């Protein structure tokens, strides 16, 4: 795995401390948002909304499997199965996207980014630690990965559009979220899914890579939070600001960076990454705003500035050599920025830990 931090002259000892600090911000520090229960389960809190989300739970499981923390992984997964997995209702077989801290469901609908991360987490856990032989047991990671992958394609309310191979914003929804597109995951889904679905996932990976190019603004490389199937921004209602480059959309560049790390760079996606990094290369974190996708700043400050900087740093993994100077500016700015503290730290520090793992060569696909 490429160690970008090492390339920029940081020592392995410094890098190891950086990784430890980012892990501590999520799991161990006084400002951690990971908590364990007496029943052998654990959860992470969205500190800005005071709930537990499949987004955060699946992110934390990814952190745990990358850092070889099986006990933490199992506790998080058992909480998700106990409180989020829906065994009844029209969305049976999916995970409730939001729960209260005691596990009470806030909603009976799923968010597809949670399901796709859960599936990849479980695939990696199966490869790293092996699975139990008991069907349906929490530690039968491979069984659960295959079950999730079957459900998202064959449920009455499907998470993927079967005719264009694009992930939906929510099941049966007519539009998508560019930051949900994870082609680097779909390559692995093809290996784990039912044989009859393997070709779908291969096509989904190609479709998502094409979609990310289409959805990115031709000058800035920015994508909207929500977008139509043709890639154009969708300012989905109130306050009709989801057609802008804001919180959800930050992840798109990071996902392109991880795809490059796992599967190699593609000229079209490198071009998107180059434009995004170039746009922000001279912008300090304190000046980050909400932007129209054409780069026009709004009066609204970035809600997650540390998260934006982290995703830009991860985006550099996909950049071409022609933007090497801009990439170095971004990565060094990120290195010098500590994890976020305060009420909104959950989302920022999840994105922060992802970036640290990717740039230190510790975000692996095996």
Let me know if 55 is a catalytic residue. Answer: yes
Looking at residue 179, the DSSP 8-state letter turns out to be G
Measured between alpha carbons, how far is residue 111 from residues 95, 158, 162 in Å? 8, 11, 18
Buried b / exposed e over 8-46, threshold 16 CB at 10 Å, is: eebeeeebeebbebbbbbbbebebbbbeeeeeebbbbbb
Let me know if 315 is exposed, middle or buried by CB neighbors in 10 A (0-12, 13-18, 19+): buried
| DSSP H helices in 80-236 | 112-129, 141-154, 183-192, 198-215
- Which residues does 267 contact at the CB level (< 8 Å), separation at least 6? 320
Measured between alpha carbons, how far is residue 311 from residues 32, 109, 131, 158, 221 in Å? 20, 27, 32, 29, 13
Q: Report CA dihedral (57, 231, 312, 238) to the nearest 10 degrees.
A: -60
Pick the catalytic residue: 46, 51, 225, 248?
248
In the numeric block, the tokens 């829906």 are attached to 86
Pick the catalytic residue: 51, 55, 187, 348?
55
Let me know if 95 is exposed, middle or buried by CB neighbors in 10 A (0-12, 13-18, 19+): buried
**CB of 182 closer than 8 Å to CB of 152:** no
Long-range contacts of 150-156 (CB under 8 A, 24+ apart): 150/193, 150/194, 150/197, 151/93, 151/94, 151/115, 152/112, 152/115, 152/116, 152/119, 153/193, 153/197, 153/200, 155/91, 155/93, 155/94, 156/90
User: So which residues are the catalytic ones?
Assistant: 55, 248
């Amino acid at each position: 795995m490429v160690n970008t931090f090492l390339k920029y002259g940081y020592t392995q000892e410094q890098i190891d401390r950086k990784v430890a600090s980012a892990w501590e911000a999520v799991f161990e520090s006084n400002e951690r948002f990971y908590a364990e229960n007496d029943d052998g389960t654990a959860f992470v809190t969205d500190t800005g909304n005071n709930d537990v989300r499949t987004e955060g739970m699946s992110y934390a499981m990814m952190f745990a499997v990358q850092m070889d923390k099986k006990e933490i992984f199992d506790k998080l997964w058992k909480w998700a199965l106990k409180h989020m997995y829906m065994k009844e209702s029209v969305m049976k077989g999916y995970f409730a996207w939001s729960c209260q801290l005691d596990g009470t469901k806030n909603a009976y609908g799923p968010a597809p980014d949670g399901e796709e991360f859960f599936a990849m987490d479980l695939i990696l856990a199966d490869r790293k630690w092996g699975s139990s032989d008991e069907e349906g047991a929490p530690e039968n990671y491979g069984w659960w990965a295959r079950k999730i992958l079957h459900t998202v394609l064959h449920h009455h309310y499907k998470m993927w559009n079967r005719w264009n191979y694009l992930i939906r914003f929510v099941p049966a929804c007519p539009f998508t979220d560019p930051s949900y597109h994870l082609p680097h995951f779909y390559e692995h889904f093809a290996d784990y899914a039912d044989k009859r679905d393997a070709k779908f996932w291969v096509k989904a990976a190609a479709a998502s890579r094409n979609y990310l190019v289409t959805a990115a603004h031709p000058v800035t490389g920015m994508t909207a939070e929500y977008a139509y199937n043709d890639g154009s921004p969708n300012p989905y209602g109130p306050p009709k600001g989801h057609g802008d480059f804001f919180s959800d959309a930050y992840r798109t560049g990071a996902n392109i960076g991880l795809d490059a790390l796992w599967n190699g760079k593609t000229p079209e996606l490198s071009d998107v990454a180059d434009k995004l990094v170039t746009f922000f290369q001279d912008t300090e974190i304190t000046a980050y705003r909400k932007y129209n996708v054409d780069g026009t700043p709004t009066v609204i400050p970035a809600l997650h500035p540390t998260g934006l900087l982290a995703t830009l740093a991860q985006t550099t993994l996909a950049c071409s050599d022609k933007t090497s100077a801009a990439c170095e500016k971004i990565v060094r700015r990120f290195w010098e920025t500590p994890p976020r503290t305060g009420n909104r730290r959950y989302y920022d520090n999840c994105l922060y830990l992802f970036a640290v793992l990717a740039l230190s060569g510790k975000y692996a696909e095996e």
